[in-house]
Amino acid sequence: MFTRVDHIGIACRDLDRTVEHYRSVFGFEVCHVEVNEGQGVREAMLRVNGTDDGGATYLQLLEPISPDSTVARWIERHGEGVHHIAFGSPDVHAVVEDLRGHGPRVLFDPPQRASMGSTATFLHPKDCHGVLTEVVTSAGEDRSSGVRADDLPTA
């Protein structure tokens, strides 16, 4: 079902300052930056390492671009810090099907286009011991029944 920890999402108030922290303290470099209007965030992906399945593990830094975005509301309630964990899978659509009978509520069904052209969905934190959990298939990795990330709406 899962092949790796794809990324850890970290909510922050100031993306540039947070990127500089992870760069100067840990040596992580930014490999991708984008604005996701659908989720109301500006994000940076910092590659931590490669994985045996050809994917990678990242830190995803998320700065809200509007005060009513989900991440902005989360920061107001919890402060800056870990927002979610994402597990990589070669077929996010199959994972959604597998999970239907196991209880976790799927928040984007069908999965949607997400960071770096990936396909993703989230599982409700109340069904995952308080952890917002993302399931993601990297761009070019999707082995599902022909659904391509480019054909999906932006999350």
Binned at pLDDT 50, 70 and 90, residue 152 comes out as very low
Q: Is 60 a catalytic residue?
A: yes
pLDDT of residue 143: 53
Res. 136: pLDDT tops 90: yes
Contact 10, 83 (CB under 8 A): yes
List, for residues 82-122, the tens digit of each pLDDT value: 999 999 999 999 999 998 778 899 999 899 999 999 999 99
d(CA 86, CA 47): 14
pLDDT of residue 32: 95
Contact 149, 117 (CB under 8 A): yes
* Beta bridge partners of residue 47, listed in sequence order: 58
Q: Is 97 a catalytic residue?
A: no
Query: What is the side-by-side strand order in the sheet with 112-113?
Result: 30-36, 41-50, 56-64, 4-11, 81-88, 133-137, 119-123, 112-113
Structure tokens at 43: 């994000």
Other Cβ atoms within 10 Å of 109 Cβ, number: 13
Q: Is 78 a catalytic residue?
A: no
Other Cβ atoms within 10 Å of 113 Cβ, number: 21
Q: Among 20, 9, 114, which residue's Cα sits nearest to residue 71?
A: 9
- Cα pseudo-dihedral 44, 154, 80, 99, rounded to 10: -110
Q: Is 84 a catalytic residue?
A: yes
Q: Is 43 a catalytic residue?
A: yes
Catalytic residue among 39, 84, 93, 112: 84
Radius of gyration over alpha carbons of the chain, in Å? 15
More confident site: 15 or 52: 15
Catalytic residue among 60, 63, 112, 141: 60
Catalytic residue among 7, 39, 112, 141: 7
